[in-house]
Amino acid sequence: MSIARRILPNAPRLPEKPWPPTEFNPEYQTFLDAHVAYWGSDECVVLPKFAANALRTVANWRCGANAVEVLMPAGTPVASFLDRRGHPSDRWDGGEGLGITGNHTTHAGVLAGYLLDACGAVRGIKLWEIYPGATRVRRRIYPVDDSLFGTSNARAYHAIHDLDGAPLGRRDNPYYAHWLHTRAAQPSRVSR
């Protein structure tokens, strides 16, 4: 049994059915709201931790696949992986700390879906998020717009991976199965 179920035994369960990537999932919203209300935190990093049942430090977070380049299932924990100057980084907050408010380089949330154009190209990502002052989980669309800096541009968001390179939360992360399938399809490397 996951730690979240032990702590919140009557909390809503994660939805088990697949959800279209272009629609918000109200069942998942209820799940996230219940955990945020219980923990009483408004820091953005706690939402991905709840979603993946991985209540560990963000110092372990590593940059995974880009959320614009790879269509990921709703419920995938994502974060911006930029250093404090706004340059891409392989570590959360460029490995400097726990994030910095107002710098527009550190933000995290849970992927809620995609905004696609008529040809199926990603025009934006839909994100469940919390932040200081938010009283509940919010939904926001971040556009793919390279004129926007940092966390305002959907291109800044990536799947969150752990130190070992696996998606945060492993089996409790809906992206994990896709990641395993992708790794299995890659040719094996034999050292000589």
User: Tell me: the pLDDT tens digits for 139-163?
Assistant: 999 999 999 999 999 999 999 999 9
Q: Is residue 103 part of a domain?
A: yes
Write the pLDDT tens digit of every residue in 41-97.
888 998 999 888 888 889 999 999 999 999 999 899 999 999 988 899 999 988 887
How many whole angstroms separate alpha carbon 156 and alpha carbon 94? 13
Q: Is residue 147 part of a domain?
A: yes
Domain count, the chain: 1
Q: So what's the pLDDT on residue 15?
A: 53
The pair of structure tokens assigned to 40 is 């009483």
Q: Is residue 185 part of a domain?
A: no
Q: Is residue 175 part of a domain?
A: no
SS3 label, residue 46: helix
Q: Is residue 62 part of a domain?
A: yes
Q: So what's the pLDDT on residue 126?
A: 95
Owning domain of residue 106: 3-164
Give the pLDDT band of residue 104 (cuts 50, 70, 90): confident
Q: Is residue 51 part of a domain?
A: yes
Q: Is residue 171 part of a domain?
A: no
Side-by-side strand order, sheet with 122-129: 62-66, 157-161, 77-80, 108-116, 122-129, 138-143
